[in-house]
Chain A
Amino acid sequence: MTTLGGRSSIGRSDLWQWIAASLRARGDQILVFVVLVAIWQVLSMTLGSYWVGSPWGVATRFAAGIADGALLRQASYTVIEAAAGFVLGALPAVALPFALRRLPIATAILDPFMVGGYGAPKLALAPLFILWFGIGIESKIALVAVTVFFIVYFSTQAGIRALDAGLVRMAQIVGASEQHVARHIVFPGAVPYVFAGLRLAMPYAIGGAIIAELISANRGLGYLLQLGAMNFDTTGIFVALAATTCIVFLGNWSVNALERRLLRWRPPSDVTLQAGT
């Protein structure tokens, strides 16, 4: 119930209710966490730790892996593959739409090929790259690069197409040349879209590296996963899974942090391009 006073009219009881509800939600979440871990523990005890590594076993193995550096070293291989592939794929994907901006016919000719590449299952190329480049990191990097390229290409292109004609007109009136417009209007305007593409591509980069490692590798987290499966070592598998998930979160966080730094000028209401599902 509100009066003209607005905020001050929210009763104390309403405020308390809101606090209680939030605390209850937090409490529920903690409860769920405890229940999940408990179920995990029970499954581990009843089925045996070969089938389901126990929570404590996984936690200690994880900590040990970090302490002696082994887990970090394996994780670093995967991260390097994902990161190198990401950069290798993203750079041309950002550059190409800009380069072709003034050649609409070239873009139109290229379009169905790009759409085909976007729609085609790129991960199916994993065996081909392993055939070509062997089981080292090169094949993983190549796979990640191809996967990332198409995602970022289309996002960048969308950013260039979303050109605000009004801003361009304004710039022309104050005397901007084509280069000025490209540098000061097209490029900054496209950057949010490029970041949306980078954010979208990031999990695919890590996933691609892992898949290629699963097929054939002797290093990396995917390798650890396969090793765990071969040795009937579910604890090892869980540790590798946890590490993988950490990397995904870390990657997301990095892209978001970079975006926050570079895009401080964006109005907070611009949710069209912000963190999506």
Chain B
Amino acid sequence: MNAPLIEIRGLAKRFAKRGGRGGRGGREPAPWVIQDLSFSVSAGEFLTIIGPSGAGKTTLLNIIAQIDVASDGEVRFQSEHAPVGDAKALKPGLACRIGYVTQDDHLLPWRTTLQNVLFPLAVQGRLNGSTRARAEMLIRTAGLNGFENHYPHELSGGMRKRAALIRTLVYDPPVILMDEPFGALDAQTRTQLQEDLLRLWNLGKKTIVFVTHDIAEAIALGDRMLVLSRQPSRIAGQHAITIPRPRDVRGIMTDPQFAALYQRVRGELQ
């Protein structure tokens, strides 16, 4: 059995209490956002994480992506210790091995769609004929062909999300974190993007950690689902999703296993 790709042990996080000048000494303890969180992710797995709002899901992803520090606990990536305790030692994206699709698409407003998608390749020094071709292929796959030279403000919300998604895919990180990427979209677009995501995931077996607050989405997409409790977040439940692939995203609710699983998860979220 292979060692898990990502291992989280006893992760804990609390934010420094704001308010009061300087905050030196006499600080009251701030509430723990995450406490004693442990789980692992296997290579090639599609893990969905679900939890109530404010449960620290974004914080968890930020820590894994190394753009935030943990107050306690450890994170191992490919059995290496990731320096999540020390702000100065953080390596965002862990040398491009972890991709992160955030809730806000963060497309650079002054770059066209194509330029935005090529941006990671440009900064990594990997921009050449074949990577460019890959980018163009991804743009076509995501249904954005014809909009390569548009600026982000000329794209719809769904298009921007797709552009942000393929911007991460273009440089092929083995792990991709996704933070409620489809949350702000209408149901139609969301279902379409879920299908696109599964298709793209199939193309090259990546490891995906997908955070959402939508139980149906979590069941439809994931191999395994983690349920987080309210603040301070712990694992309230873990479920292997045995619905066979390829999944019918549109009709997931009609699958016989769906209802029972849904109810169980609902119960754990209370």
Instruction: List chain A positions with a Cβ less than 8 A from chain B.
Output: 164, 166-167, 169-177, 180, 184-185, 188-189, 191, 263-268
Contact pick for B106, options A166, A180, A189, A263, CB 8 Å: A166
Q: Given B108, B123, B151, B167, which contacts A264 in the complex, CB threshold below 8 Å?
A: B151
A266 CA to B108 CA in the complex, in Å? 11
Does B108 lie within 8 Å of A174, measured CB to CB? no
Do the beta carbons of B123 and A174 come within 8 Å of each other? Answer: yes
Chain A contacts of B152 at CB under 8 A?
265
Contact digits for B111-129, partner A, Cβ 8 Å, 1 yes 0 no: 1000000011001100000
What is the 8 Å Cβ interface bit string for chain B, positions 25-41, against chain A (1 contact, 0 not)?
00000000000000000
Interface contact B123-A176, CB-CB below 8 Å: yes
Partner of A266 from the list B93, B102, B123, B153 (CB cut-off 8 Å) is B153
Contact sample, A vs B, 27 pairs, CB 8 Å cutoff: A166-B104, A169-B67, A169-B106, A170-B100, A170-B102, A170-B106, A171-B119, A172-B92, A173-B67, A173-B99, A173-B100, A174-B93, A174-B119, A174-B120, A174-B123, A174-B167, A174-B171, A175-B93, A175-B95, A175-B123, A184-B119, A184-B123, A188-B108, A263-B110, A265-B110, A265-B152, A268-B153
Question: A166-B104, A169-B67 known; A174 and B96 CB under 8 Å?
Answer: yes
Q: Which B residues are within 8 Å of any A CB, using their own CB?
A: 65, 67, 92-93, 95-96, 98-100, 102, 104, 106, 108-111, 119-120, 123-124, 151-153, 167-168, 171
The answer to whether B95 touches A173, judged by C-beta atoms less than 8 angstroms apart, is no
Instruction: List, in ascending order, chain B residues with CB within 8 A of A264's CB.
Output: 151
Interface of A is mostly: helix
Query: Roughly how many angstroms separate A266 CA and B153 CA in the complex, as a whole number?
Result: 7
> A167: which B residues are within 8 A, CB to CB?
106, 108
CA distance A215 to B119 in the complex (A): 54
